[in-house]
């Protein structure tokens, strides 16, 4: 009963179709026998062969140490983003303007916690524990998406986050459904399906506001004005400055460059903004017939770097909030552990007796 009642088609782009295709490919890969010779003695060659053949690397397979470290970093940051990302939207649960919207938002934030759990579980297959990863987040040694350092100042921001932020996340994540590491690819298929649902719900919020009272319409436009560039910046620095790209592409962790994905996102949003009747805040936005794509003004990458390095509007609050929840919950986790130990002892005594 939580929504799914947006009248009309999926926003254009066909990204869910790509997710379905990736899922089919994943099943096919699982059924197909790998090289009959097996890993043999040349583990590196076998790894390269599996990646080249678009097969999946699984937790027990040998993998280069740098591949493992890159994946841990990327999956953990992704998981952290889901957990920190609950805060900006969670900020509006208590004030949601109708009971239906409150239910949808609560369900959405709950889904994000679930995505965080899938992703931590995927990271754990690489030989690191969730507790270690959480400590890395709380100590500021691992990052989360820059976008969650922006504040949600009106109800329309909840809609803009669904449409733009989840939209950008989906464009970024759909190619990861085909990434070479099996557990990550499988987690992304589940995540992308749910994110695409969230994106539609966000779009619907904005659609209602854009067709509502003048004050609601102004609220919607203001939210799009504030979230457009932070969303474009989610794709990361321009290709020339991206440090991890080349190796990640070779390992088939990444499939497209930051700039390619950003272009795909802009092209997708323009038509959707027209249907909404809201303006994208970029005077330089225009169709380029030669490129068959939209020209647009790049985000301020200096701002992106400031936000990533800790000086965005909400960095301090977001981390302080997470640390506080963790610290205030310590006695509860200790109690659960102590109780479980007592129960185990009781069982042992019963078996002994």
Partner 1 sequence: MNGPFAFTLALGDDALIAAQRLAEWTTRAPEMEEDIALANIALDQLGAARLLLSYAGELEGAGRDEDALAYLREDREFRNCLLVELPNGDFAVTMAKLLVLSAYQLPLYTALAGCPDERLAAIGAKARKESAYHLDHATLWVKRLGDGTEESHRRMQSGIDQVWPYAHELFAARPDTPVDPATLRAEFDAAVGAVLAEATIAVPDSGWAPAGGRDGVHTEHLSYLLAEMQVLHRAHPGAHW
Using CB under 8 A, list all residues that contact partner 1: 1, 83, 86-87, 90, 93-103, 106-107, 109-110, 113-114, 116-117, 120, 155, 205, 208-209, 212-213, 215-216, 321, 324-325, 328-336, 338-340, 342
Q: Which CB, 6 or 256, lies closer to partner 1?
A: 6
**What residues does 286 pair with on adjacent strands?**
295
- Minimum CB distance to partner 1 smaller for 190 or for 321: 321
* Cα–Cα distance measured from residue 218 to residue 156, given in angstroms and rounded to the nearest whole number: 9
The 10 Å Cβ neighbour count of residue 92 is 21
Residues 6+ apart with CB under 8 A from 284: 295, 296, 297
Beta-bridged to residue 125, according to DSSP, are none
Q: Which is nearer to partner 1, 142 or 242 (CB)?
A: 142
Q: How many residues does the chain have?
A: 353
Closest distance of CB 139 from partner 1, Å = 18
Q: How far is the CB of 150 from partner 1 (least distance, A)?
A: 16
Residues 6+ apart with CB under 8 A from 40: 46
Q: How many CA atoms lie within 13 A of 192 on its CB side?
A: 26
CB of 34 or CB of 323, closer to partner 1: 323
Yes or no: say if 193 and 19 are a contact pair by the CB < 8 Å rule.
yes
Cα 203 to Cα 54, 80, 108, 284: the distances in Å are 35, 25, 14, 24
Cβ distance to partner 1 smaller for residue 36 or 99:
99
DSSP tag of 130: H
Minimum Å gap between C-beta 133 and partner 1 is 11
92 in Cβ contact with 152 (< 8 Å)? yes
Judged by CB, which is closer to partner 1: 244, or 316?
Answer: 316
Task: Determine the Cα–Cα distance for residues 158 and 151; give it in Å rounded to an integer.
Answer: 11
Q: Which is nearer to partner 1, 86 or 266 (CB)?
A: 86
Tokens of 351: 């078996």
Task: Tell me how far apart the alpha carbons of residues 292 and 91 are, in angstroms, rounded to a whole number.
Answer: 40
Least distance CB 332 / partner 1 (angstroms): 4
Q: How far is the CB of 155 from partner 1 (least distance, A)?
A: 6
Pick the closer one to partner 1 by CB: 51 or 104: 104
Q: Which residues pair with 287 in a beta bridge?
A: 294
In sequence order, the β-bridge partners of residue 57 are 181
Q: Cα–Cα distance between 278 and 210 in angstroms, integer?
A: 7
- Contact between 304 and 235 (Cβ < 8 Å): no
In the bound complex, what is the minimum distance in angstroms from residue 341's beta carbon to partner 1?
Answer: 10
Q: Retrieve residue 340's tokens.
A: 């479980």
- Taking the complex as a whole, the smallest distance from the CB of residue 12 to partner 1 amounts, in Å, to 25
- Toward partner 1, which CB reaches closer, 213 or 243? 213
């Amino acid at each position: 009963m939580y929504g799914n009642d947006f009248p009309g088609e999926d926003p254009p782009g066909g990204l869910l179709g790509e997710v379905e295709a990736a899922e089919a490919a994943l099943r096919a890969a699982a059924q197909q026998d790998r090289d009959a010779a097996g890993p043999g003695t040349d583990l590196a060659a076998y790894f390269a062969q599996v990646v080249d053949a678009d097969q999946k690397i699984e937790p027990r397979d040998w993998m280069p140490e740098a591949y493992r470290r890159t994946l841990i970093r990327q999956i953990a940051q992704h998981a952290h983003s889901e957990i920190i990302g609950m805060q900006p939207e969670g900020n509006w649960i208590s004030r949601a303007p109708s009971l239906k919207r409150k239910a949808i938002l609560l369900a959405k934030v709950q889904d994000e916690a679930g995505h965080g759990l899938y992703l931590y579980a995927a990271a754990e297959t690489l030989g690191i524990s969730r507790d270690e990863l959480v400590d890395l987040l709380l100590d500021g040694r691992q990052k989360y998406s820059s976008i969650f350092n922006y504040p949600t100042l009106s109800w329309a921001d909840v809609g803009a986050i669904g449409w733009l932020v989840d939209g950008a996340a989906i464009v970024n994540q759909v190619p990861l459904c085909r990434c070479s590491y099996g557990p990550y690819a499988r987690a992304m298929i589940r995540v992308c399906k749910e994110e695409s649902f969230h994106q539609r719900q966000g779009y619907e919020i904005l659609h209602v506001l854009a067709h509502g009272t003048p004050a609601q319409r102004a609220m919607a436009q203001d939210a799009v004005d504030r979230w457009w560039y932070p969303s474009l910046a989610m794709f990361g620095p321009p290709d020339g400055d991206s440090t991890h790209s080349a190796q990640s592409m070779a390992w088939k962790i990444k499939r497209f460059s930051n700039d390619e994905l950003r272009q795909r996102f802009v092209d997708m949003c323009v038509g959707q903004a027209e249907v909404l009747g809201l303006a994208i805040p970029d005077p330089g936005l225009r169709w380029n017939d030669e490129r068959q794509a939209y020209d647009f003004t790049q985000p301020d990458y200096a701002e992106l770097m400031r936000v990533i390095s800790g000086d965005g509007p909400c960095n301090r609050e977001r981390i302080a909030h997470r640390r506080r929840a963790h610290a205030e919950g310590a006695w509860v986790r200790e109690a659960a552990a102590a109780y479980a130990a007592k129960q185990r002892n009781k069982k042992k005594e019963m078996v002994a007796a």
